[in-house]
Structure 1
Amino acid sequence: MSLGCVIGTFAGLGLQTILVGLLGALLVIWCFGSRKQTTSNLPPGPTGLPLLGYLPFLKLPPFKGFTHLTKQYGGLISLRLGTKLCVVLNDVDSVRQSLIKEADVFTDRNVPIEYSLALPLEGSLAFASGDKWRELRTFVAKSFRLFEVEKEKLESVIVRESERLCKAFHEEAVESSSGGDAFDPHHIIKNAVSNIICSLCFGQTYEYSDPEFKHILTVVGNSFRSLSPSGLLLVSRYFYYTPLYREVRHDLAVLQDFIRGIVQRHQETFDPDNTRDIIDMYLAEVRQLKEDGKETYLKEENIWRGVFDIFLAASESMTSALRWILLYLIAYPELQRKIRADILRVIGPSRNPTIKDRDELPLVEATCMEVLRLRPPAPMGGPRQVKRDVKVKGYVIPEGTLVLTNLWHIHQNAENWQDPERFNPSRFLNEDGKELVKNPAFLPYGAGRRLCIGDRIARMQMFLFLTTLIRRFEFSLPDGDVPDFNVDGGNFTLSAVPFKIIAREVESNMAPTAVHTQIED
């Protein structure tokens, strides 16, 4: 049949007929796909509608919706999100029985549909599975350790960036106090955080005034907010090509071009005798393996994809964590003062903090832990996909099932924590407050073999940034403002809603100076 005949045939049909036909085709696809995953012993959970599954009834944000379902179905639930079968782990026992005890079955990633359509999977660290993932993760872990001990110590990089951050706060504070207007530190914080991973991956940092990099960081935030386990793409991935996802497509293309450009410049200037960063290390590793004739999944053309994942994840999650920490310290000024007194006692007014100081500042660590408990950067962890049929707690989880970990509920479940909704860093300290106390329900970086590869770096950043900032500034809210702990959006990442603060610069052991500034976040 010619193209003209096909067009003529469709032109002769009414819109209603076409829509009914498409709906019928989707229904057939749903029924066929559902039959493949049908089992009589799934974990308990709610029923849904054809094509849509439980999506129309799921309370938002999703992690709170899943929490609501635990009241009826317990800690291990199953439901359909669109046409996709999903199992949600809502308690520590479910996590232990699956991600840890059956780790091999649960190490594969479920790739968000937006990423699967916009980006190649080859070379991805976050979404690779099997041997490809293991080889790439081993390389990245080795590179991170090398930067910690052999290159310019990562600790020094973070301390230097902490000083830049304080300088930027000071400059904005002076300008703000003279002009009377609040300033927004969100970009400053995010730039400082991102510069750490840029040092590791790109061998360079960016000025806070750089307009191009500021745009890139904005796009990073947008790309994370677009991800959702409860969106239209779970009904049909063809929605991705509609105007509804135009901005998502644009943002991912911008980020891809940015990372590819950096990698290309590294390839053009590569010197095997002077490895500057992780990209150079990757180039050296790939070329050496090729020269030795060894089989490898590491490919030079895929370098950018792994760097893409590292850059996005590190920039967004740590920015979110630091903003929450700042907000909680503002809400609890006595705690802020006590932390500052501890810092001055241990470190003094001028010496740079070091990672070794953590042992003498358990309250700083406990405060970070308590904020991560209440506001985990990734409230549902990284999406997993079951490699084969597996039995967990007496139920069968079929091959290919999407698995989400509801860290939000685990971190705020009264079975795991006393007064779970209360902000109380002391829950992570022993009776005399000198040592940290572990709780198996504290899982901000996930669990099992796919535990966040950057957790050590994240803890270093939080400690060094926080000790530097709190020693230098006293933070509070403008008169009449109250702390807002609501979540700005919240699907795969949690962000605090914008808030304004006052930052008074502190000098040595003296009381805060009269510098009265406002910071808007």
Structure 2
Amino acid sequence: MKLGQYDTFVVCDWDNLKDAFANDALLARPAKGFISGIEETLSVIAMSGDVWREHRRLSLNFLRNVGLGKREMETLISEEIHQFLSSLEDDANDLPQRLMPSVSNNIAALLFGRIFYYDDPDKIMIDQGVQRFSESFQLTGILSFFPWLIKPLIALGKANLKVISKTHQRMHAFISKEVLAHKNKVKSTEIEDYIDEYLNAQSKRKDNLFKDMTLRRNVVGFFVAGSETVTSTLTWAIMYLVQYPQYQEKIRSEIQEVIGTEKRPDFSDRLRMPFTQAFLYEVQRIESVVAFNLIRRASQDTKIGPYNVPKDSLVFFNFWSVHHDPKLWPNPDKFNPNRFLAENSTKVVKPPYLVPFSAGKRACPGEGLANVELFLYTVGILQRFKIKSDKPLSFDAHFGLTRRLKYKPDLIFEKYLSNNSI
């Protein structure tokens, strides 16, 4: 298609998507980023070429060495979930609003080396910033194809761009304070968080590739992406638990058999809880919270399957289409976790065409952390509560940065155990 000033390709089937994932000519982003009138410095999410590879390598090394796969990180998430569940006992209204501060605390621990009280003014400000940005920014909106409109529209106060711009400014101001505090703290050889890792790499390089402004942009990007996607997915998961109480009970029976009522769940418990894993896979498939990938750009003339893709064309990966393709998923509009089960429902199987975090070299680096969170929150909630609603549920979605639930659900959280020591 010709959209605005760009030749644009939308990849909607698995065979061509698999081909595109493996194509290094499709790793680039739009030359000026996603919102060029607002983000003059690109984050690792919006970078291309060698500068992207260097920053991505740093991020992956950090996640491998400090965050993902470390028992300490899972323990921290478990403690955060315990705090969140205790707060639900007092008030379970407006679940998405209550989930965000908890989920974003897990990202805060990785980025800043600390978590926040839910009533911390700075934390409230950045959580609200994530929500405003996620509601206002549309990745496939008109500004993706007419970037020259961004500055005039900011000046005119149109298209929610003032909201996005102000949110960026406030979050950058907060993160600047965090970076300064990290620079001023007593020198230590121990890397405690992402800011430490970045500043350490910055001090060792002789070039000017790792800049303070890029660090701030990276932190904003990671904080928004890590908070919003997990919060939205968990909200959809809870909606399906209420809509299908038989699945809620099936997961609870796995919890009783594998974990019990006295122990907090571990991520390793998933290996003996195939239906719970299948349920989460089905939520990720049917709702496809990230329905399209972040925009790719062809860095040179290339091909996707039999199709010629000229240099500088924009390329979208339509995950929604793949996740609802009847050739891959029988009755794709029906919510059915059993489609992921094999061997008499004793084994969960994830097919390669379930790609909620994308795939290839630009796959989401936080996929591992997100999967830990999705499992531990879901199991933790059902270990302590039965969830229901006296009113019909609406599964209408709002399309912003992700596919979010459009209307606030009216949910009832009943204490499952009167004497729960978890």
The reply to whether TM is greater than 0.5 is yes
User: Do 1:233 and 1:240's aligned partners in 2 also have CA atoms closer than 8 Å?
Assistant: no
The structure with more radius of gyration: 1
Report the secondary structure of 1:117's partner residue. coil
Q: Counterparts in 2 of 1:325-344, with a 5 A limit?
A: 325-344=237-256
| C-alpha separation in 1, matches of 2:344 and 2:187 | 53
Determine whether 1:395 maps to 2:307: yes
| C-alpha separation in 2, matches of 1:192 and 1:332 | 25
- Which residue does the alignment assign to 2:145? 234
From 82, 91, 107, the counterpart of 2:27: 107
| C-alpha separation in 1, matches of 2:69 and 2:308 | 47
Q: Structure 2 counterpart of 1:248, which letter?
A: I
Higher relative contact order (CA 8 A, sep 6+): 2
From 403, 412, 415, the counterpart of 2:327: 415
From 359, 365, 386, the counterpart of 1:474: 386
| C-alpha separation in 2, matches of 1:446 and 1:232 | 23
Determine whether 1:286 maps to 2:202: yes
Q: What is the CA deviation profile of residues 98-138 of structure 1, one whole-angstrom value per residue up to 9, with x for unaligned ones? A: 222x2x1011112686632212334x111111111111111
User: Do 1:99 and 1:448's aligned partners in 2 also have CA atoms closer than 8 Å?
Assistant: yes
Cα distance 1:250–1:509, how it changes in 2: closer, same or farther (>3 A)?
closer
- Which residue does the alignment assign to 1:192? 102
| C-alpha separation in 2, matches of 1:148 and 1:220 | 22
How far is 1:365 from its partner?
0.9
Determine whether 1:243 maps to 2:157: yes
Q: Counterparts in 2 of 1:43-442, with a 5 A limit?
A: 79-100=1-22, 102=23, 104-110=24-30, 115-122=35-42, 124-148=43-67, 153-172=72-91, 183-228=93-138, 229-232=140-143, 234-235=145-146, 236-237=148-149, 238-244=152-158, 245-269=161-185, 271-287=187-203, 289-290=204-205, 293=206, 295=207, 297-442=209-354
Cα distance 1:199–1:341, how it changes in 2: closer, same or farther (>3 A)?
same
Cα distance 1:434–1:296, how it changes in 2: closer, same or farther (>3 A)?
farther
User: Do 2:27 and 2:362's aligned partners in 1 also have CA atoms closer than 8 Å?
Assistant: yes
User: Do 1:407 and 1:444's aligned partners in 2 also have CA atoms closer than 8 Å?
Assistant: yes
- Which residue does the alignment assign to 2:410? 500
| C-alpha separation in 1, matches of 2:356 and 2:119 | 32
Cα distance 1:270–1:396, how it changes in 2: closer, same or farther (>3 A)?
farther
How far is 1:225 from its partner?
2.7
Cα distance 1:369–1:509, how it changes in 2: closer, same or farther (>3 A)?
farther
| C-alpha separation in 1, matches of 2:124 and 2:182 | 22
Q: How big is the alpha-carbon RMSD for the aligned residues of Structure 1 and Structure 2?
A: 2.1
User: Do 2:84 and 2:102's aligned partners in 1 also have CA atoms closer than 8 Å?
Assistant: yes
How far is 1:476 from its partner?
0.5
| C-alpha separation in 1, matches of 2:34 and 2:165 | 8
User: Do 1:158 and 1:465's aligned partners in 2 also have CA atoms closer than 8 Å?
Assistant: no
| C-alpha separation in 1, matches of 2:403 and 2:168 | 20
| C-alpha separation in 2, matches of 1:112 and 1:352 | 46
- Which residue does the alignment assign to 1:23? none
How far is 1:210 from its partner?
2.7
Q: Structure 2 counterpart of 1:83, which letter?
A: Q
Report the secondary structure of 2:130's partner residue. helix
Cα distance 1:451–1:429, how it changes in 2: closer, same or farther (>3 A)?
same
Q: Counterparts in 2 of 1:30-41, with a 5 A limit?
A: none
User: Do 2:96 and 2:232's aligned partners in 1 also have CA atoms closer than 8 Å?
Assistant: no
Identical residues among aligned pairs (%):
28
Q: Structure 2 counterpart of 1:138, which letter?
A: R
How far is 1:299 from its partner?
3.1
Q: Structure 2 counterpart of 1:243, which letter?
A: G
| C-alpha separation in 1, matches of 2:295 and 2:326 | 25
User: Do 1:362 and 1:435's aligned partners in 2 also have CA atoms closer than 8 Å?
Assistant: yes
- Which residue does the alignment assign to 1:39? none
TM-score for the superposition, normalised by structure 2: 0.92
Q: What is the CA deviation profile of residues 264-295 of structure 1, one whole-angstrom value per residue up to 9, with x for unaligned ones? A: 221122523343311112212221x24xx5x5
| C-alpha separation in 2, matches of 1:167 and 1:474 | 15
| C-alpha separation in 2, matches of 1:453 and 1:280 | 18
Report the secondary structure of 1:483's partner residue. coil
| C-alpha separation in 2, matches of 1:150 and 1:285 | 22
Greater CA drift, 124-133 or 314-323: 124-133
User: Do 1:109 and 1:385's aligned partners in 2 also have CA atoms closer than 8 Å?
Assistant: yes
User: Do 2:293 and 2:319's aligned partners in 1 also have CA atoms closer than 8 Å?
Assistant: yes
| C-alpha separation in 2, matches of 1:396 and 1:240 | 36
Report the secondary structure of 2:349's partner residue. coil
| C-alpha separation in 2, matches of 1:418 and 1:114 | 36
User: Do 1:380 and 1:406's aligned partners in 2 also have CA atoms closer than 8 Å?
Assistant: yes
Give the total of aligned pairs: 413
Q: Structure 1 counterpart of 2:197, which letter?
A: M
User: Do 2:136 and 2:401's aligned partners in 1 also have CA atoms closer than 8 Å?
Assistant: no
| C-alpha separation in 2, matches of 1:218 and 1:149 | 26
| C-alpha separation in 2, matches of 1:316 and 1:84 | 29
Cα distance 1:111–1:272, how it changes in 2: closer, same or farther (>3 A)?
farther
User: Do 2:137 and 2:164's aligned partners in 1 also have CA atoms closer than 8 Å?
Assistant: no
User: Do 1:113 and 1:233's aligned partners in 2 also have CA atoms closer than 8 Å?
Assistant: no
| C-alpha separation in 1, matches of 2:236 and 2:335 | 12
